Amino acid sequence: MSEKKHRHRHKKSDGKSFIILPIIFLVGTYLVLYLAFAPTFSTFVSAAGMFFSNNEKNYSTEYKNIFVPVSENTTLPTVKIEDKTYVEKEAVEYPQYGNQFGELIIEDCGIDNKLFFGDGDIALRNGVGIYNGSFVPGYGGTILVAGHNNTFFNGLKYAEAGQKVVIRTSYGNYEYRITDTAVKKATDKSAYDLNADYENLIMYTCYPFDELGLTQYRYFVYAEYISGQQIDKSVQEGE
Amino acid sequence: MKKLSAILVALVLVAATAVTAFAAGINSSEQAVLDELKTSVTMKGSDELIPSEYVNQAENYFNTIEMTEEQSKEIIAVIEEGKTFLHNSGASNIADLTFDQKQQLLALGEKAVGVLNMSMSYDKTTKQLTITAPNGDVAFNAVPYLTKDGKLDDNGVIKTTGSETNYFGFIAVGVAAVVLVAGGAIYLVKSKKERA
């Protein structure tokens, strides 16, 4: 009788050891691995995800780099239109989708990232990316830049009005000043105006910062144009 | 000797002032296509527009190429054909078209981008239309639809910029970690019992 009881207790203890404890381990392991090894861990997660995803995702890290830094004293060919000086259009190599064509620097926020044209997977895994429905610096429109909140745009949490943003491209260096920050829903169309006829910079990342998983909020940082040669956009006769 | 030095000086000057010339912005042929893309199409009595974000994508791509007048005219003719097709479709938006109508519209799209040796593909699961440049680069990627105010209705502009979310990957790695830890625990318990 006492042997039966002992076996029963033993079974109960087995259930505890091999079912409940592993579940606790699972939660604990996630927490520890995420907090301590998130950057290293992501490689294995991505690799494992390849076996379970139906979508054809591009896990390649290859991209074309067309960025050649322009020093402060370099003179690019310019053209004068109605008393204003513009960079000659022939001197500008417009980036194609996925190209790294510059750098985005906010010293006060510890941000110094590669800047891509396009905000696809590869771009956001290697730096920050301009939405290809917005425009490049110097084009006189809205520049909408995305970056991950746990890596390249984590520093946006230190963004404050008055801070300087520098964008370096192969056709010139541009300076902007942060004017405002705001938390808005990702679906909020008032958060940006891609039809603006003046140059302005909008940077955003997921909010809250360091959030694991999906979030419906974004942290927007707005900046006004300060300096940098504008590109000649005059329409020329076709062939 | 004087001639030689003159040639050398000329060569040095040419090298020093040489600037690489790239595809030069928007020309009048490209502008004509952009203007056509900005005009509305009437569907079920309502004026519909291509979202301006999509027109911007076209403008950005046109900045990287040189379109001829002939190509421009050919593309505009196909766009107009597409507009007439949409007008006569009886649908109020692209999403409301029948499967056959969507196939016909896709064929017209392929014809238009084919003028520039580009290709077009449609992903049924994500509903994304992708236009690929001759060199394989993506020129356009979005869910195709029309709006009344020319602005995007969906969440296509703002991306997910949180930590890369791959739940299956997390689960797979998590399960592997648990198996390893549980296996280790079983081994330790067994070896402890054997020793006892």
Task: Output B54 or A53, whichever has higher pLDDT.
Answer: B54
Do the domain assignments include residue A64? no
Do residues A112 and A189 both lie within one domain?
A: yes
Q: How many domains does chain A have?
A: 2
Domain boundaries, chain B: 21-142, 164-196
Angle of helix B52-62 versus helix B28-38 axis, rounded to 10: 170
The residue from A40, A55, A70 where one domain ends is: A55
CATH code at position A125 = 2.40.260.10
Chain A and chain B share a number of CB contacts under 8 A equal to 201
Q: d(Cα A21, Cα A10) in Å, to the nearest integer?
A: 15
pLDDT at B6: 62
Minimum mean pLDDT range among A80-94, A186-200, B2-16, B41-55: B2-16
Helix (H, G, I), strand (E, B) or coil at A123: helix
CB pair distance less than 8 Å for A191 and B60: no
How far from B116 is each of A14, B72, B78, CA to CA, in Å?
69, 9, 13
Q: pLDDT, tens digit, for every residue of A103-161?
A: 999 999 999 999 999 998 899 999 999 999 999 999 999 999 999 998 999 999 999 99
Spell out the per-residue pLDDT of chain B, length 196, in tens.
Answer: 566 666 665 555 444 444 456 667 899 999 999 999 999 999 998 999 999 999 999 999 999 999 999 999 999 999 999 999 999 999 988 889 999 999 999 999 999 999 999 999 988 888 888 999 998 888 888 888 888 888 777 667 888 887 655 555 566 666 777 778 788 888 888 888 887 7
Examine residue A147 and state whether it is found in any structural domain, yes or no. Answer: yes
Q: How far is A104 from chain B (nearest CA, A)?
A: 17
**B residues 25-84 lying closer than 8 A (beta carbon) to A:** 25-31, 52-54, 56-57, 60-61, 63-64, 66-69, 72
Q: Could you tell me if residue A152 is inside a domain?
A: yes
In this structure, the answer to whether residues A25 and A143 fall within a common structural domain is no
Strand partners, A84: A81
Q: Which domain holds residue A23?
A: 1-55
Interchain contact B101–A (C-beta under 8 A): no
Using CB atoms, pick whichever of B21, B151, B165 lies closest to residue A189.
B151
Question: Is B24 near chain A, with CB under 8 Å?
Answer: yes
Q: Where are the alpha helices (DSSP H) in chain B?
A: 2-17, 28-38, 52-62, 69-89, 99-114, 167-195
User: Looking at this predicted complex, what is its ipTM?
Assistant: 0.74
